[in-house]
Amino acid sequence: MRKLGIAALGAAAALTLAGCSAGGGEESADGGKITVWVVGTDTPDTAREYLKDTFESENEGWTLTVEEKTWADVSDTYAAALQSNDSPDVVEVGNTQTASFADQGLFLPLTDFPADDYLPGLVESATYDGELYAAPYYAGGRIVFYSEQILGATPVPTTLDEYVATGKALKTDTRSGIWAPGRDWYNALPYVWAHDGFIAEQEGDEWKAGFSSEGGIAGLTQLQDVYVNASNAAKDGDETDPQVAFCAGEDVFLSAPAWVQWSITAPADAEAPGCADTFGSDLRAFPLPGLEAGETAPIFAGGSNVAVATKSANPEQARAALDIMAGEGYQTLLAEGGLTPGFTAAAASLPDTEIAKAQADALANSKVTPTTPKWAEVEAAQIIQEALVKIAQGGDVAAIAADLDAQIEEILNS
Amino acid sequence: MSATLTEPDAAPRTPTTRPPRAPRESAGERPRRKSLPWAPWLLLAPSILLLCVMVLYPTIVMFVNSFTDLQIKNKMLGTSPNFVGFDNYIEVFTESDFPAVLARSLGLMVVLTVLIVVIGMLVALLMTKLSKGWRLAVSIGLMLAWAMPPLSATVVFGWIFDTDYGLVNWALNTITGTQDFRGHSWLIDPMSFMMVLVIIVVWQSVPFAAVTFYAGLGQVPDEVLEASALDGASAWQRFRLIIMPYMRGVLTAVLVLETIWNLRIFTQVYALQQQGGLASETNILPTYLFRQGLGEFGVTAAIGVFMVILLMAISYFNVRSSLKDEAEL
């Protein structure tokens, strides 16, 4: 009797453990789930639907889910997810980060991929140790948006100095001449590059950072002028949701990725409200001008690649999904959305608008961050952003730049 | 059955109170040397197992990792990491910004804990004086603040303190009738960042302290308070000499818990850093750990081990001193 009681106690106690039910695994040869992670809102909905429909009709019994991540997730959340047994199957990753993920063994190498049909810059960013680890997804460049309702009769600037001068002249207490939040480092790079500064260059085995080079200081000094005298944006703000200030009529010039045009021209009552009827109605854009009239400033060649996760439970189907995303049909939809497609031939479908042309002109003169797997560490440490915030606060440019270079060199040469 | 269950319970009772009563009890007490009471252990077994899996095992793994150069690569390729001795610890402790991070964490912990305990106690005392309806209203208010997920709370506070469109800047401009606060960034200055952080954390942590203290206040016998009042003890004397001694156990528990919680807050700091400010000048230990390089498991584990030791030392000191006090009563 007593023993029975004890056995019952044990059973009751064990039951409390069973409260945590076992998660179900969905393994089967002819059916299952593929998860695709895209980053940010720039992948158009038409493309997402096309991917899901095409994949599910070509693979009987399989379903595909597209999940949207933010750029802030790409470092830590990605690293954690990609090494877990619950890894997503296909992921979009920034072009500057691809090498580091490949270096950690998180991506499967892509065999038999027709790399020759794709943008060489993106293919290079996805190649590590002689092997291709990701398919080029899209490229994007930053262009300068403006509305004639605000710019008025002022002529569009033709040189970088004129651009800054116009921005300073048109700034009021409630209006930014140039909207420049301090942590928007992609928009800071053109100033450095235009004055012949550089991020980091390889000298033999050593990396040498160049923000404190003569050109780097000149560029950052001009940038400080913009932050302090032309911009009302938060000195420690980042570049998310640039359409908010623009649509409030608080920006004369807004330098932002080309796809921001869709955020600006969204209806005022959309879930993410734009201003189709006011400042978005006559939206125009030009490539950031360079030091001399008639040339453009070198901009950062932004872009993404897509890769198959090493830990994907179904690499074969994951590759099939990746092939759809890199294929002509899907890439054409990206082009129609204003993104420069990774698949070169799809570029013919780019809309024939002033904004698309401005982006193409801007991208023609573009540069990338240093190609080393260590670069992702520089981005994750956010040291460039922090240096820019200090510059935006009016700090000593030379000292901040020297400090920044030391930090970059320490990471790249470690 | 009931005898075996209460046996382990009786052990921690203070031994000093026993001797005087010993003569009366000694008759039946002595020969009780029973075999291990296993019904309680059987009941405890699942929890112990769960604790081993969820707490003990990760702690051991963290401890082991802190002496290796484990990377994501090792996990993905199935290779084993190298043993590097104390290299990770040396790397962390010699890092130029580590002392500042440590000092910031400890300072923040002290400020938060003091504010939470003091405000919590005041709210609890207030609740004893309120009428039933008001008490209910205050309790519901406390619960709402407590139930809000820290991330949501931080995002909302981030908006309130937003540089361009924040409520605080608008309100200050309206009150002062100037435009002085247009575009004022509350997060860019580390001290101001900490002030916003303290507001968020205290706002959300006071409910726990207040509710616990309120429960504790219920244990203070009314007749003692009444008697002392008749003897002419002032409110402050009653609080210091009667309520506080009765509340010592509750106070210790809250202090230890708040100390631990406040030294390892992460969500609020991290989310606030996303909204502005300089991460390198506002990091505390947990965010500093998180912001180490991608997959630097060795170094992060070393910071983790250091935090565990730090927390255990602080809690040990607290618990011990309070047990001593109790024994002296």
| CB contact at 8 A, B196 and B167 | no
Interface residue B291 vs chain A (CB under 8 A)? yes
> Is B4 a residue whose pLDDT tops 70?
no
d(CA A139, CA A339): 7
Interface residue A399 vs chain B (CB under 8 A)? no
Q: What is the pLDDT of residue A10?
A: 57
Kindly indicate the confidence band of residue A91, based on its pLDDT and cuts at 50, 70 and 90.
Answer: very high
For A155-183, the pLDDT digits (tens) are 999 999 999 999 999 999 889 999 999 99
Contact between chains at B188 and A389 (C-beta distance less than 8 A) = yes
Interface residue A11 vs chain B (CB under 8 A)? no
Specify burial of residue A124 (Cβ count, 10 A radius: 0-12, 13-18, 19+).
middle
Q: Is A367 helix (H, G, I), strand (E, B) or coil?
A: strand
Helix, strand, coil shares of chain B as percentages rounded to 5? 75, 0, 25
Kindly indicate the confidence band of residue B16, based on its pLDDT and cuts at 50, 70 and 90.
Answer: very low
Residue ranges of domains in chain A, CATH in brackets: 34-140+301-350 (3.40.190.10), 142-300+370-412 (3.40.190.10)
Can you give the C-alpha Rg of chain B in angstroms? 26
| CB contact at 8 A, A368 and A121 | yes
Q: What is the pLDDT of residue B1?
A: 39
Average pLDDT over chain A, rounded to whole? 88
Question: For the residues A237-250, what does the mean pLDDT come to?
Answer: 90
Question: For the residues A230-244, what does the mean pLDDT come to?
Answer: 90
Question: For the residues B85-92, what does the mean pLDDT come to?
Answer: 90
Provide CB contacts within 8 A for A342, sequence distance 6+.
Answer: A118, A119, A122, A135, A136, A137, A138, A139, A303, A305, A326, A331
Q: Which phi and psi angles does B100 have, rounded to 5°?
A: -65, -40
A-interface mutation test, from B164, B180, B270, B289, most A Cβ less than 10 A away: B164
d(CA A307, CA B92): 34
* Highest-confidence segment of A145-154, A359-368, B8-17: A145-154
Q: Is A137 helix (H, G, I), strand (E, B) or coil?
A: strand
> Is A29 a residue whose pLDDT tops 70?
no
Q: What is the pLDDT of residue B22?
A: 45
Q: What is the pLDDT of residue A179?
A: 96
A113-127, B5-19, B100-114: which range is least confident on average?
Answer: B5-19
Specify burial of residue B232 (Cβ count, 10 A radius: 0-12, 13-18, 19+).
exposed
pTM of the model: 0.79
Provide the chain A residues 173-192 that lie in CB contact (below 8 A) with chain B. Answer: 173-174
Q: Is B200 helix (H, G, I), strand (E, B) or coil?
A: helix
Whether the CA torsion A403, A404, A409, A411 is positive or negative: it is positive
> Is B3 a residue whose pLDDT tops 60?
no
Distance from CA of residue B117 to its chain's centroid? 11
Interface residue B293 vs chain A (CB under 8 A)? yes
| CB contact at 8 A, A302 and A142 | yes
B167 vs chain A: nearest CA distance in angstroms? 15
A164 vs chain B: nearest CA distance in angstroms? 21
> Is B21 a residue whose pLDDT tops 80?
no
B94: amino acid identity, one letter: T
> Is B23 a residue whose pLDDT tops 50?
no
| CB contact at 8 A, B204 and B257 | no
| CB contact at 8 A, B251 and B325 | no
> Is B90 a residue whose pLDDT tops 80?
yes
B329: amino acid identity, one letter: L
DSSP, res B243? I
Q: Which phi and psi angles does B58 have, rounded to 5°?
A: -60, -35
Interface residue B23 vs chain A (CB under 8 A)? no
Which residue is associated with the tokens 């023993």? Answer: A3
Interface residue A29 vs chain B (CB under 8 A)? no
Contact between chains at A105 and B77 (C-beta distance less than 8 A) = yes
A340 conformational bin, left if phi > 0, alpha if psi -120 to 50, beta if neither: beta
Q: Is A33 helix (H, G, I), strand (E, B) or coil?
A: strand
Tell me the chain A residues in contact with residue B42 when contact means C-beta distances shorter than 8 Å. 6, 9-10, 13
Nearest to B294 among A14, A174, A377 (CB): A377
> Is B127 a residue whose pLDDT tops 60?
yes
A22 vs B318, higher pLDDT: B318
- Closest Cα to residue B44, out of A12, A19, A22? A12
Whether the CA torsion A373, A375, A376, A377 is positive or negative: it is positive
Interface residue A383 vs chain B (CB under 8 A)? yes
Which residue is associated with the tokens 């963290």? Answer: B62
Provide the chain A residues 265-324 that lie in CB contact (below 8 A) with chain B. Answer: 310-311
Contact between chains at B164 and A245 (C-beta distance less than 8 A) = yes
> Is B28 a residue whose pLDDT tops 50?
no
Residue ranges of domains in chain B, CATH in brackets: 96-291 (1.10.3720.10)
Question: For the residues A344-359, what does the mean pLDDT come to?
Answer: 88
- Closest Cα to residue A357, out of A141, A86, A150, A186? A141
> Is B122 a residue whose pLDDT tops 90?
yes
Question: For the residues A190-200, what does the mean pLDDT come to?
Answer: 95
d(CA B112, CA B254): 13
Q: What is the pLDDT of residue A2?
A: 56
Residue A360, token pair as written in the block:
């193409």
For B128-152, the pLDDT digits (tens) are 999 999 999 999 999 999 999 999 9
ipTM exceeds 0.85 = no
B317 vs A351, higher pLDDT: A351
Specify burial of residue B45 (Cβ count, 10 A radius: 0-12, 13-18, 19+).
middle
Dmax over Cα atoms in chain A, in whole Å?
A: 98
- Closest Cα to residue A186, out of A339, A368, A39? A368
Residue A133, token pair as written in the block:
């680890």
> Is B25 a residue whose pLDDT tops 50?
no
Q: What is the 3-state secondary structure (H, E, C) of B172-192?
A: HHHHHCCCCCCCCCCCCCHHH
Q: What is the pLDDT of residue A291?
A: 95
B-interface mutation test, from A2, A235, A236, most B Cβ less than 10 A away: A236
- Closest Cα to residue A384, out of A194, A98, A192, A240? A192
DSSP, res A134? S
Interface residue B45 vs chain A (CB under 8 A)? yes
B76, closest residue in chain A (CA to CA): A105
Q: Is B278 helix (H, G, I), strand (E, B) or coil?
A: coil
Transcribe A304-332 into DSSP letters: EEEEEBTT-S-HHHHHHHHHHHHSHHHHH
> Is B56 a residue whose pLDDT tops 50?
yes
Which residue is associated with the tokens 């009239």? Answer: A293
Contact between chains at B187 and A381 (C-beta distance less than 8 A) = no
Q: What is the pLDDT of residue A20?
A: 41
Q: Which phi and psi angles does A280 have, rounded to 5°?
A: -85, -10
Average pLDDT over chain B, rounded to whole? 85
Residue A26, token pair as written in the block:
């969905």
- Closest Cα to residue B90, out of B307, B306, B315, B308? B306
> Is B323 a residue whose pLDDT tops 90?
no
Tell me the chain A residues in contact with residue B37 when contact means C-beta distances shorter than 8 Å. none
Transcribe B7-56 into DSSP letters: HHHHTTS-GGGSGGGHHHHHHHHTT--PPP-HHHHHHHHHHHHHHIIIII
